[in-house]
Structure 1
Amino acid sequence: MEEEKIKKSLITGSIGLGSLAAAAGAAAFYSAFVEPYWFDLNKIEIRIQRLPDSFKKFHIVHISDFHLGFHFKAKHIAKMAVEIQKLNPDLVVFTGDLVNSHRSLKSAVKSLPYLKKINAPYGKFAVLGNHDYLENIHTISELLGKSGFELLINENRRIKKGEDELYIAGLDDYLRGEADIERALAGIPEGRCTFLLAHEPDYFKVSTRFPVDLQLSGHSHGGQIRLPLFGPIVTSKMGRKYHSGLYQAENKFLYTNRGMGTTHLPFRFFCRPEITSITLK
């Protein structure tokens, strides 16, 4: 009898280990080949206190962190561009990391025709990310320009709609560039509604001290690997406190986009690549 019990126990244990191994294999396959290319269209509304009347229901599409060349290629940009055009955005913003490294240039060049197809009547604006500094910045600037994005490096632009206006400011990358928020906001008339594009979300701790109504950021990728009830396993420098989603400090807001591509490891788990559709109220 004892021998039969031992045999049954060994068989049960083997089945359990086999099931566990199968589940782990399925999770690994999903996180490497399914979720990284399963775009999440996240629609949100943000109520901005100083928003001019003409900009109510103004529609912004926010994208970030392509990391082209590292398992994210022109064909994925083509798919993303189609989804964005379906949204009919008023304005499109990109918050940095076009490329993953200096080896990414080929994928970036192939992506230009698809990025160029993204249209928005009030413009397309971009800032640099820390990975963009691994390539020649003049090259990155040229690529963004050819794709129709205006690069903002510590500067701002006025957006006029009817009799009203708001301002889009762009910050140089905090980790590798020369971020200067005072220069980025210079010349904006007092009391005007102002949005800041800043690659690293944790810069929100600085921007809340300035007349910025909404900061849009990326960088963190949401952690890429997230566990239910726990959140991201690993977060990046300057992307730890505000790693994903909408945050508020009094009347100021931050939205951190989870990005489109991946870096370091080509996996996503409970952290799908994101296209953010923002309606202003």
Structure 2
Amino acid sequence: MEEEKVKKSLIAGSIGLGALAGAAGAAAFYSAFIEPYWFDVKKIDIKLPRLPEAFEKFHIVHISDFHLGFHFKARHIAKMADKIQGLNPDMIVFTGDLVNSHRSLKTVVKSLPYLNKIKAPFGKFAILGNHDYLESIDTISELLRKSGFELLMNENRMIKKENDELYLAGLDDYLRGEADIEKALNGIPLDRFTLLLAHEPDYFKVSSKFPVDLQLSGHSHGGQVRMPLFGPIITSKMGRKYHSGLYETENKFLYTNRGMGTTHLPFRFFCRPEITSITLK
């Protein structure tokens, strides 16, 4: 009788371990081969007190962190481009990390036709990220321009619509470049609405002290691996406090995009690649 109970207990234990191993294997497969390429088009409205009237419902598509060459290829850029064009944006912004390392250039060159495919009437703008500095900045800058993006390095542009205007400023990378917000905002009247592109989201602690209405960032990847009720398992330097989504402090706003690619490890779990469709209101 006792032997029978022991046998049943061993069988139950084996089944339990088998089920656990199966679940772990399925989760690993999903996080490596499915979720990293299951793009999330996240649509959000951001209400901004100083937004000029002509820019009501102005539509920005925000993308970030391709990390091309590290499990993110030209075919994935082609898929992303199709989704973006289907959104009909007024403007497209890219907040850095075109490449993952110096071995990424072949993948970028193959991706150029697809990046050129995405268009917007008010332009395409980009900044550099920390990984872009692992390659020649002159090379990365030229590749971004060949992709149809205007690169902003501590500088700004006026965007005019009807009788109103807003300013778009782009910051050099904080961790590896020479970020200079005063230079980036130079010449912008204090009473004008200003949108800032800054790769690292935690730079919001600095930019919120300046006349910047909305900061758009990437860098954090949302942590890549997130657990329900807990959030990201690991966060990156300058991407720890504001790791994903919308934040607000005293009528200053930040949106952190989870990025398209991956880095270090090619996994995503409860943290899908993100194309952000932002409507200003």
Same fold (TM over 0.5): yes
Question: Aligned partners of 1:105, 1:146: CA distance in 2, in Å?
Answer: 13
Question: Aligned partners of 1:154, 1:180: CA distance in 2, in Å?
Answer: 6
How far apart are 1:190 and its partner, in Å? 2.0
One-letter amino acid of the structure 2 residue matched with residue 2 of structure 1: E
Deviations 1:110-147 (A, max 9, x none): 10000001000000000000000000000000000011
Spell out the pairing of 1:35-50 with structure 2 (5 A cutoff): 35-50=35-50
Question: Aligned partners of 2:47, 2:226: CA distance in 1, in Å?
Answer: 28
SS in 1 for 2:166: strand
Which residue of 2 is the match for residue 128 of structure 1?
128
SS in 2 for 1:87: coil
Which residue of 1 is the match for residue 23 of structure 2?
23
Which residue of 2 is the match for residue 276 of structure 1?
276
One-letter amino acid of the structure 2 residue matched with residue 145 of structure 1: R
Question: Aligned partners of 2:2, 2:190: CA distance in 1, in Å?
Answer: 85
Question: Aligned partners of 2:74, 2:193: CA distance in 1, in Å?
Answer: 35
Which residue of 1 is the match for residue 10 of structure 2?
10
Deviations 1:185-241 (A, max 9, x none): 000112000000000000000000000000000000000000000000000000000
Question: Aligned partners of 2:71, 2:107: CA distance in 1, in Å?
Answer: 10
One-letter amino acid of the structure 2 residue matched with residue 108 of structure 1: V
Which residue of 2 is the match for residue 214 of structure 1?
214
How far apart are 1:181 and its partner, in Å? 0.1
Deviations 1:147-192 (A, max 9, x none): 1100000000000000000000000000000000000000011200
Which residue of 1 is the match for residue 115 of structure 2?
115
SS in 2 for 1:25: helix
Spell out the pairing of 1:62-101 with structure 2 (5 A cutoff): 62-101=62-101
Spell out the pairing of 1:164-183 with structure 2 (5 A cutoff): 164-183=164-183
One-letter amino acid of the structure 2 residue matched with residue 199 of structure 1: H
One-letter amino acid of the structure 2 residue matched with residue 197 of structure 1: L
Spell out the pairing of 1:204-243 with structure 2 (5 A cutoff): 204-243=204-243
Spell out the pairing of 1:125-164 with structure 2 (5 A cutoff): 125-164=125-164
Deviations 1:26-45 (A, max 9, x none): 00000000000000000000
One-letter amino acid of the structure 1 residue matched with residue 249 of structure 2: A
SS in 2 for 1:159: strand
Length-normalised TM-score, structure 2: 1.00
Question: Aligned partners of 1:169, 1:110: CA distance in 2, in Å?
Answer: 29
Question: Aligned partners of 1:160, 1:184: CA distance in 2, in Å?
Answer: 18
One-letter amino acid of the structure 1 residue matched with residue 148 of structure 2: G
Which residue of 1 is the match for residue 203 of structure 2?
203
Question: Aligned partners of 1:97, 1:156: CA distance in 2, in Å?
Answer: 20
Question: Aligned partners of 2:47, 2:9: CA distance in 1, in Å?
Answer: 60
**Tell me, which stretches of 5 or more residues in structure 2 are unaligned?**
none
Percent identity, aligned pairs only? 83
One-letter amino acid of the structure 2 residue matched with residue 259 of structure 1: G
Question: Aligned partners of 2:3, 2:189: CA distance in 1, in Å?
Answer: 86
Question: Aligned partners of 1:254, 1:112: CA distance in 2, in Å?
Answer: 29
Question: Aligned partners of 1:252, 1:187: CA distance in 2, in Å?
Answer: 20
Question: Aligned partners of 2:159, 2:140: CA distance in 1, in Å?
Answer: 24
SS in 2 for 1:276: strand
Query: Once superposed, what is the RMSD of the aligned Cα atoms?
Result: 0.3
Question: Aligned partners of 1:186, 1:250: CA distance in 2, in Å?
Answer: 23
Question: Aligned partners of 2:49, 2:184: CA distance in 1, in Å?
Answer: 21
Which residue of 2 is the match for residue 254 of structure 1?
254
One-letter amino acid of the structure 1 residue matched with residue 137 of structure 2: I
